[in-house]
Structure 1
C-alpha cells in the first residue's frame, strides 16, 4: 500500500506535487503528463467550466470569454485576500479561488498515490510579507485554511529553500555547507544548511539550518519592473497633465503591470477614472491606448507578452513586444540591457539578502562549499551571476528549476508522516 501523504509546492508562477513511490521520490503529473503546472485558473464563461494551468492560459489567449487569474499566492497576507472578484453572476473571494487551485493539486496527489490524502507538507516562503510578522502568520493561516477546506487534515509547513536543500542533500556524498538560493515567481529565499549523507537520516534537522532569510521579490516583480520601465510609458505613465503642474496618477499603470492587480481594472469605476485621466492628460492619445487595453480586457495578455519578453531577454537575445490595439500596432524593441536596467534595484535587494543570510549564519563568503540554485528566476543572468560572484569558492549546482522544492517537500512529508 502506497503512503497516503505528499508535498505540495503552491508557487506564485508554477506549482508541483511531490510523492514517495516505492521508496523513491518523484513529482506527480499535475496537468496531463506534465510534472509542473502554471499557477493559473480560468473561469470560462462560454462553456461554464473552470480550467487550470496551461489550458487556462490557452483558453484566455484564444480570446475565450472568461476570467483569468494568476499569481494568487501573492495575495496571501494582504488585504486582497478578503476581496472578491466577479465571475459572471457570482462574486468569489480570492481565498476560495486559492482553494480551487489547491483542490486541483490535491486531486493530482490523490491520483498519484491512489488514496484520499489527508497528510501534506506545504511549502512556504521565508516571508510571505516582508517585515510584518503578523501578516506573515496570517498568510500561512490563510493557506492552511484553504488546504483544510480541500480535505487535508494533517498539515505541516516547510520553508521552500529548506525543502530544496533536502532535495539536494538526497545525492550528496560528503558533508558540505550549502547556500540554497530559491528564486521563484514571488519570493527570493536563501538558506545555509549543513548537509551530509549521515544528516539526511536524522528527523530533527534544526541544528543543521544555520540561517534562513528571504525577501518578497521574484519573477512577477521583474515582469512589473520591466513593464513599468518600458511599456507603461507608451500608455501615458510618467507623462504630465495638460497644465504641466504634475504627472498623471501612477496607480492604474501599476495595477496594469501587476499580475494580481489586473482584474481590479475591469470595473465601471476604473473606466470612469481613466476617462477623467485622459481629459487631464497632455498626451491623451497615450491614455487612449491604456483605455483600449482595459476596455477589451487585454491586461493579462499584455502581462503575458512582457513575461515572454523577459524570458527571451534572459536567454541573451532581444525581443519585440507588440501592443496590438484597436486601429494601431505599437512595436517596442527590448534588449537584455534594458532588462538589467529595469530590475537593477531588485537585484541589489537580492544581493543584500544574501549578505544578511551569511551574517545571520556567522559565516564568510569563502566558507560556503556549494551554491544550489533553484526557481525559475535563477535563469536571469543578472540575478544568477550576482550571487555566483559573491561566493568565490562555492561549487555551483543547478537543481530542478521548478521541481526541487516539490521533491524536497515530499521527502519532508516522509520524515514527518511515514
Structure 2
C-alpha cells in the first residue's frame, strides 16, 4: 500500500509521501511543491491544471478557466453543472479531474499507484450547518473513491499543521494552531510533545477545534467590491430614482467560483438593457468589455496580486490601460485593513471561543503556530496575535505545513 497526505486547498494544493528520511511533499508542477487549484479546459477538448492553466487563460487560449474549486464544496453549486465548450459537466466531475491529475503526478514520483489517502478538510465546510458539512465531506470522499483511492481518511487541517509543528519541538507545549487559508480560517488547541507524536491515538491531545468559512478569497472579494467594481458600475444609480445598478453581476465577478456565470449569453443581454437605463452607462460599458473579452479571472487575479503586494508593502497600483487609456487604481495598506476589518475581527473572535471551549486562559498557550497565506496580512496577523496574548509566535511553512502533517498522519494509519 502506498499512502499519501493530500491538502486540496482553495488556492493551492499539495500532496506528500513518506520516505525513509521522513515526509516529503511531491513536486506537482515543475520544481514547485504547490500547484494552484485551477483547471483550464481548452476549446479543442484538452485540459491542464495549475500554473499552466492560468497561463493558458492569460495568453488568450480559447477555453475556460476555473479556480478556487474547493469553494464549491458545501455550496449549492456542487450539485449543478457548468458549461465547458459545447457541453455541460457537473462540478463534481471538474473537481475530480483536478484531483486525479494531482494524483497522477504524485504517482510518477511514487513509482506506483497511490491507493490510500489522508485528506485534509476544514473544521467547517459550512458554518452552522452540520448536515451541509457532512454532505461536503461525503462528496469529497466519493470523488476520492471515483479517482482510485481505496482507503480514505480525513483529518482537520489545523490538526495536520500541529503534527508538522510537533516535529520541531523539544518539550511539551500547548499550541494554538491558526491556519488561515484561501477559503477558511481554522483553529485547534493541541497538546504536543516529542513523546506524544508517536502515539497511535491522539484524540485526548486535541483540546478544542473551531473554524469559520472566511479566507483569502473573501479578502479578495471585499477588496474588489470596494475599489475595482465601482469603476465598472457597482453602486452607481439608475435613471429611475431610488434604484442602483443590480449588484449580482459584480458579486459574481468578484468571486472566483462564480465568474463563469457571467459568460452565459443571456447575462450580456441583460447588462445591455441595464446600461440603457443607467446614469453612468460608460461604466457599464467597461463591465461589458470585461465579459465580452472574458477577462473576469484576469481581474480577480490582479486584485489577488494587489492584496499580496499590500501584505508586503504600504501601497500598490493596478494598471487598467487595457480597459481605458490612463486608467489605473491605487490601493494602500490602510485601505485594505479598513475594507476587510470585519473579516479580521471575525477570525480573531473565533480564538476567544476556542479558548473558552478548551477551558484555557490566554496565558496557558505556549505557542501560536501560524500557517496559510492570509497570515501574511498585517492586520489579520495582529488580530490573531492580540487574541492569543503572550504566547510565542512560530512561523510555519505558509503553504506546506498542512500537507506535511497529513503525510505524517498517513504513515501513522497506513504505514510507510
| TM-score, structure 2 normalization | 0.97
- 5 Å-filtered alignment, 1:82-231, equals 82-231=79-228
| 1:25 equivalenced with 2:23 (yes/no) | yes
Alpha-carbon distance between aligned partners in 1 of 2:218 and 2:103, rounded to the nearest angstrom: 28
Which of 341, 344, 354 lines up with 1:344 in the alignment? 341
Q: Secondary structure at the match of 1:104?
A: helix
14-23 or 66-75: which moved more?
14-23
Supply the distance in 2 between the matched residues of 1:28 and 1:325 (Cα, whole angstroms): 38
Which position in structure 1 is the counterpart of 2:14?
Answer: 16
The answer on whether the counterparts of 1:176 and 1:370 sit within 8 Å (CA) in structure 2 is yes
Q: CA deviation at 1:329?
A: 4.8
Per-residue CA deviation, residues 229-252 of structure 1 (Å, 9 max, x unaligned), is 101111111111112212221111
Cα deviation digits, residues 200-238 of structure 1 (max 9, x gap): 011111110001000001001110010011011111111
The 2-side partners of 1:294 and 1:287 are apart by 11
Q: What is the CA distance between 1:113 and its match in structure 2?
A: 2.0
> In structure 2, what is the Cα distance between the partners aligned to 1:330 and 1:141?
47
Measured in 1, the distance between the counterparts of 2:362 and 2:323 equals 54
SS at match of 2:327: strand
Instruction: Give 5+ residue unaligned stretches, structure 1.
Output: none
Aligned residues: 415
CA distance in structure 1 between the aligned counterparts of 2:213 and 2:374, rounded to whole angstroms: 13
Q: Distance in 1 between matches of 2:83 and 2:321?
A: 26
Partner of 1:334: 331
1:63 Cα deviation after fit: 1.2
Q: Secondary structure at the match of 1:178?
A: strand
SS at match of 2:390: coil
Following superposition, the deviation at residue 325 of structure 1 comes to 4.3
Matched, 1:43 2:46: no
Deviations 1:3-22 (A, max 9, x none): 61010000000000011111
Does the 8 Å contact 2:351/2:388 carry over to 1?
Answer: no
- 1:23 deviation in Å? 4.5
Root-mean-square deviation (CA), in Å? 1.2
Determine if contact 1:262/1:299 at 8 Å carries over to the other structure: yes
User: Could you tell which deviates more after superposition, 237-246 or 164-173?
Assistant: 237-246
Superposition map of 1:317-396 within 5 A: 317-325=314-322, 328-396=325-393
Unpaired runs of 5+ residues, structure 2, are none
Tell me which residue corresponds to 2:268.
Answer: 271
In 2, are the aligned partners of 1:219 and 1:377 still within 8 Å (CA)? Answer: yes
Q: How far, CA to CA, are the matches of 1:367 and 1:328 in structure 2?
A: 57
Post-superposition offset of 1:393: 2.2
Q: Tell me the TM-score normalised to structure 1 length.
A: 0.97
Measure the CA separation in 2 of the matches of 1:329 and 1:30. Answer: 39
Q: 1 CA distance for matches of 2:345 and 2:311?
A: 17
Kindly report structure 1 stretches of 4+ aligned residues shifted beyond 3 Å.
324-329
Q: Name the residue aligned to 1:414.
A: 411
